Amino acid sequence: MTDLKAIVATFSSEDKQQFTSYLERKNKRNDTKNIQLFKLLSQNELSSKDICQKLYGAYRKDAYHALRKRLYQSLIDFIANSNLEEENSVDMQIIKYILASRTFLFYKKPKIAYQILDKAERLAQEHHLFPILNEIYHTKIQYAYTNPSVDINAVIANFRSNQKQHYLEEELNMVYAKIRQTLSDMTYKGKIVDFKTILHTTLEEHNISINEALSFKSLYQLMTIVSLSAFVTNDYLKIEPFLIETYQKILNHKRKDKQLVHHIKVVYMISNTLFRNKKFHDSLDYLDHMHTLMQQQRKKHYANFKLKYTLLMALNLNYINKQDDAISLLESTKQTKHTDLESLLDIHLALVMFYMQKQDFKSAKTIFSKFYHTDKYYIEKAGKEWIIKKNIAEIILYIELSEFDLAESRLLSFKRSYFNYLRQIDQERAIIFINLVMAYFKNPEQITTQAFKNKVENAFIWVDEKQEDIFVMSFYAWLKSKMESKPLYTTTLGLIKKAQTVN
């Protein structure tokens, strides 16, 4: 059965009002139940069976199925019409020009036809509409014999150039799809792959250079591919200049207002990269810009990005010593009903981290009590990296709460479940960290000794502080706080500050 609730959940408040008005205009009878069904689905409180009962006073399966089918078609028509009105006005205008020019060519008025085609060509070039440009050049070449002033060789050269750009855009689209699929297999299925090699090989196979910039869509896809590479390799420093430089091209792009959803994603991408590079105030500047974009076009995309925006805002606040603000922000958001389950899980895990840094372990445990699903479930919903962070945080929490049986159980379970995986993806540092946690757990008194400090110093292959992953740094801060007998949050901010001042 089609998930109508998932479709309705994408609607903003204004979309819901407009769709209700659309149904009212469309309905020819007063007893039509489509508006009632839409409102019940919007509330997202009743099961399908309960909704049927409420609408008909009995479980009339066939009538309810037919009503859902009609509402589904109305939803599709409404969404398609809205997008045609808002997104493709330029495309439609150019297509009208092409159709008009062909009419004039039919009536043997080539001069007028080519004037219109020239106008269509300029507009299509401005917006990098390669498939439509292909139609324009096809028409110009086909009827060149009717207009002696046309330089057919110049038109053919333009056609060939456009073909190359169109081909490159299509190749990039395929690369983007393959890279996203690879990352999905790694994140949600736990597949072991050499992402860096796959990225390089895939780009090479399709003859794509990272330096090439094309349409708005291509610029967005290039930025996404580069960001995915950084996500896997944890090397956000390397990609930051590329993202910001490429974004300047997007700012000057004619299509940016028509591609608002991609524009928001790009700004989020940059803000997230700056956060990972510990440039929190710069990240907040981009978040402000993201929020402004989210409010455009009658807040059409606001709900879709709200959770991601809120989480990144809270993370930045936490690391600029505004922890109470960060906690307050996420506490006000954590109960939100949203289709973006992954972001909701990230919000809960971030809250756990904030409370643990604040040494409010009781509140952290309360949130953990809500994680009652299996590891397999969470891997499917949020990925393997998320479940590893969750398990490490849980081990530390039980140690802090002196719940030693649970801590030991989680340690052994983690070792059994994830050590082989961590070795396969070259994350030996996580294994070393857990072994040090285990050593502390078995003999807490040793942690402040010079021997233990030397053991920690010699255990890791240390990464440059500027490049070190901020979440890895936060976990290490817990161990360091124990070694130095200092508060965890103070230790964390100290490590961050040191990383920010490294040349």
Summarised one tens digit per residue, pLDDT across range 232-282 is 667 788 778 878 888 887 777 666 666 788 889 989 999 999 999 999 999
* pTM listed for this prediction: 0.72
Angle among Cα 478, 483, 489 to the nearest 5 degrees reads 35
Q: What is the pLDDT along the chain (503 residues), one digit of tens a residue?
A: 467 887 888 787 778 888 888 888 888 777 678 888 888 888 877 888 888 888 888 888 888 888 889 888 988 888 878 766 655 577 888 999 999 999 999 989 999 999 999 999 998 988 788 899 999 999 999 999 999 999 999 999 999 999 988 888 888 788 878 877 876 776 566 666 565 666 667 777 777 665 544 567 777 777 887 787 777 667 788 778 878 888 887 777 666 666 788 889 989 999 999 999 999 999 999 999 999 999 998 888 888 899 999 999 999 999 999 999 999 999 999 877 777 888 999 999 999 999 999 999 999 999 999 898 998 898 888 888 899 999 999 999 999 999 989 999 999 999 999 888 888 877 888 888 899 899 888 888 888 899 888 888 887 766 667 777 888 889 889 999 999 999 999 999 998 998 888 65
> Tokens 């052994």 belong to which residue?
412
Q: How many Å apart are CA 30 and CA 151, to the nearest integer?
A: 63
As a residue count, the chain comes to 503
Residues 502 and 462 sit within 8 Å (Cβ to Cβ): no
pLDDT digits (tens, 9 = 90+) for 393-417: 999 999 999 998 999 999 999 999 9
Q: How many Å apart are CA 368 and CA 363, to the nearest integer?
A: 9
Angle among Cα 116, 120, 121 to the nearest 5 degrees reads 115
Residues 300 and 328 sit within 8 Å (Cβ to Cβ): no
Residues 40 and 46 sit within 8 Å (Cβ to Cβ): yes
Q: Is the dihedral of CA 399, 403, 409, 413 positive or negative?
A: negative
Exposed / middle / buried, residue 220 (Cβ in 10 Å: 0-12, 13-18, 19+): buried
Provide CB contacts within 8 A for 354, sequence distance 6+: 314, 318, 323, 326, 327, 330
Angle among Cα 439, 441, 447 to the nearest 5 degrees reads 65
